[in-house]
Amino acid sequence: MNAKKVIVCGGGGFIGGHLIADLRRQGAKEIRSVDIKPLAEWYQVFPDVENLQLDLQKRDACHQALQGAATVFNLAADMGGMGFIENNRALCMLSVLINTHLLMEAKAAGVQRYFYASSACVYNADKQRDVNVTALKEADAYPAMPEDGYGWEKLFSERMCRHFREDFGIVTRVARFHNVYGPLGTWDGGREKAPAAICRKVIQAKLSGKHEIEIWGDGHQTRSFMYIDDCLKGIQAILASDILEPINLGSSELVSINQLVDIVEGIAGIKLKRSYNLKAPKGVNGRNSDNTLIKKDLGWEPCIRLRDGMEKTYRWIYDQITNPGKARGKG
């Protein structure tokens, strides 16, 4: 078997598209991108990449996807922002089929390295009730009380990676993503996350002249947000490392949602009247990434300032809103 290919599962998505672009910049030649969406809906498409539309919840599709694979990045999942995952728990849980079938086929194909994208949603909810949250250490995932649906699937899939490594010798690496954002991502339609949603709302308020914004929750809930370039660097460094256990991949720059709105208002040069929808999904009260382990193991942590990343994200979303016919990310 010609085991040379790099397979990006979820390659038609936000992170997957950026990862493929980065791999190409580094000179990777044999890349296969796999996603369930029709090609026209992929965030980025590259003509020199093998692009396959497959439903990776099905084992035969995973078998096809991993033919000739040396390295697998599993970024595929049915997910979105808090508004999506709180209202689609069963759909989020079904993503367990993707990782399960990919691991089974990775074993059969003799895959050399396998990366799994987990989430900070695996962390125990009791440790995230205070907006002044203590940054979450990797050990805080247990005893288990993750985000219902999405978080449980991620935590279970982490264990699958561990046991396939222990029992079958597959080199698996797992990173727990903390709120990845940036250009060429979802910014409307219900699956967008807070940075993109707030950019869209501020832009629409500015363009419409109706200087108001609705914020989900009371605005005091706290988060950290990682720019896509930091995410890409972390994914590849973790995969190449000797780190066996799941590790945080996120910024430690903690902000409230109100502060995030402040940042976007500053970029837009506008102040908006705020209303708060206390019935809307808002997730846990506080979440931040403890980066002690990643600094120890890699000598690095995500470091792009939120203000800098949000300015780039705002400019891109502004272009999408004001020029809707523009191609979203064709390579």
Neighbours of 4 (CB within 10 A): 12
CA distances from 115 to 176, 263, 320, 322 (A): 11, 33, 32, 37
The answer to whether the CB of 52 falls within 8 A of the CB of 34 is: yes
In sequence order, what are the beta bridge partners of 116?
A: 74, 174
> Considering 43, 114, 150, 181, which one is annotated as catalytic?
150
The answer to whether the CB of 179 falls within 8 A of the CB of 228 is: no
Catalytic-residue membership of 276 = no
The radius of gyration computed from the CA coordinates of the chain, to the nearest angstrom, equals 19
C-alpha span between 23 and 30 (Å, rounded): 10
C-alpha span between 65 and 171 (Å, rounded): 18
C-alpha span between 216 and 87 (Å, rounded): 15
Q: Which residues contact 6 (CB under 8 A, 6 or more apart)?
A: 23, 28, 30, 31, 32, 69, 70, 71, 73
Active site residue ranges: 150
